Structure 1
Amino acid sequence: MVEQITFVIFDMDGVLYDKRDGARLRALSALSGREPHEIGEAIFKSDFEKRAEAGDPPTGSAYLEGFSERLGSAIDRATWADIRRDMMSVKPRVFEIARRLKRHVDIALLTNNPILLKETLAACAPEAVALFGASAHVSAEFGARKPDPAVYRKICALHGHAPQNAVMIDDARKNVDGARQAGLNGILFTNAIALATQLRLLRLAGSPHGAASIPKSRHRYS
């Protein structure tokens, strides 16, 4: 039997937002003069990006320095944020689901990203900041990245919820599996309609026996 859900965690790219990797690579190519596939290999498919998503380097400035080095061209914070923003588009139906849930349970955002995204999130994803506020997190804050079970346990502990009372919504199966290994419930995201159905099965999302009947928990787990 599923425990009462008091905490719902959303992935960002692929769940709350559509992400166009090609658009980012083309913008960086125009800036640097390098081919898009070269940039992808040098940065986004490299150990540099994976380490950054796990918190190394620990500051946005240090990340940007390493990013520029691998890009082969200097890039400033504002330009990086502009390019990141331009590759994203909101999924309004998923945002509406999150808004409804927020009336009854705690919600958070957890995305595999470097600390620079956290520092520039208001520029890159203002809709997410408006909805999630301080509960919008990047994996670098926790020193681990999905699907490492540690990152899920840490975000649950930070927000005062037991893992079994939480659910992770992600579009990557390995990340859902990692959440389940950590003791959370997991939903593999495909589209907003399927998500609403899956949340309803967990007695969420405003069904007759769903979110409307589940008050926000006043007793936190520590």
Structure 2
Amino acid sequence: MDLYLFDFDKTLYAYDFRKRLPELSVITGASQYHLAKTWWAGGYERRAESGEWPTPDEYFAEFERVTGAALTLRDYQESRKLASIPIPQSVAALAHAATLGTVSVLSNNPSPFAVSLPVLAPDVFAVVGGNVLVSSELGVRKPKPEAYRLALEHYGARAEDAFFADDSLENVEGARELGITGHHLTYVDGVPQTDALLGAIERFSQR
């Protein structure tokens, strides 16, 4: 059976960090500048996405150590949800792909994201269920080849039977290097070109 892999941020859901950071500042009492400088600019989020703190408890402990600000899973979910807005046509494309084969999210995100998907994106979770592969759990970020190899192994799929959609061309090219059919979700004047995504899914299913 064919495998359809979808990125999450800016592919299934729009993501705006400018909405998330102010909420984190309110929740923690730390300034936006301090949080951005210590955690994100300091490279800790990227390290978390690469699996350095593979559980939510480890992630939040490191976040507090680095920033001095305590954060809970609920805090994470509230701030992340503010920054995440569904792209209805992309979610519809995901649902359509589910009628054609196995669907899964494949996302570069830290450990709290995987357990938070039912809260952040209930419509996506309703389609994929437990089929959520997050870089923090895989121990490697896209576009490294190992991320895609692990995804294929997880579902017992061959590269030639896999489709992958992402807003990052670099990530798409990483998948293509392994023989996976990749679709780059482009934006025109800030609007995702979801018709092209649906068309790409159809072409792949009929190959």
When normalised by structure 2's length, the TM-score is 0.89
Q: 1:169 to 1:46 in 2, by over 3 A?
A: farther
Matched, 1:58 2:42: no
Q: Kindly state the Cα deviation for residue 37 of structure 1 after the two structures are TM-superposed.
A: 4.1
Task: Give the structure with higher Rg (CA).
Answer: 1
Across the two proteins, how many residue pairs are aligned to each other?
A: 201
- In 1, the alpha carbon distance for the partners of 2:169 and 2:123 equals 25
Q: Report the identity percentage.
A: 28
State which of 14, 18, 36 in structure 2 corresponds to 1:18: 14
Aligned residue in 2 for 1:172: 168
Q: Kindly state the Cα deviation for residue 197 of structure 1 after the two structures are TM-superposed.
A: 2.5
- In 1, the alpha carbon distance for the partners of 2:198 and 2:89 equals 10
CA displacement 1:27-71 (0-9 Å, x = unmatched): 122234444344223223433212211211121101011122333
8 Å contact from structure 1 (residues 169, 186) kept in 2:
yes
Aligned residue in 1 for 2:93: 97
Q: 1:143 to 1:66 in 2, by over 3 A?
A: same
- In 2, the alpha carbon distance for the partners of 1:134 and 1:119 equals 10
Aligned Cα root-mean-square deviation (Å): 1.8
Output the amino acid matched with 2:124: A
Unmatched segments (≥5 aa) in structure 1: 205-209, 215-222
Q: Kindly state the Cα deviation for residue 194 of structure 1 after the two structures are TM-superposed.
A: 1.7
- In 2, the alpha carbon distance for the partners of 1:164 and 1:46 equals 38
Matched, 1:67 2:67: no
Q: 1:60 to 1:132 in 2, by over 3 A?
A: same
Unmatched segments (≥5 aa) in structure 2: 187-192
When normalised by structure 1's length, the TM-score is 0.83
SS in 2 for 1:8: strand
CA displacement 1:145-187 (0-9 Å, x = unmatched): 1111101110111111011211210001111111112321211
Aligned residue in 1 for 2:78: 82
Q: Which moved more, 1:170-179 or 1:24-33?
A: 24-33
SS in 2 for 1:134: coil
Matched, 1:158 2:154: yes
Output the amino acid matched with 1:69: R
- In 2, the alpha carbon distance for the partners of 1:112 and 1:50 equals 9
- In 1, the alpha carbon distance for the partners of 2:7 and 2:141 equals 12
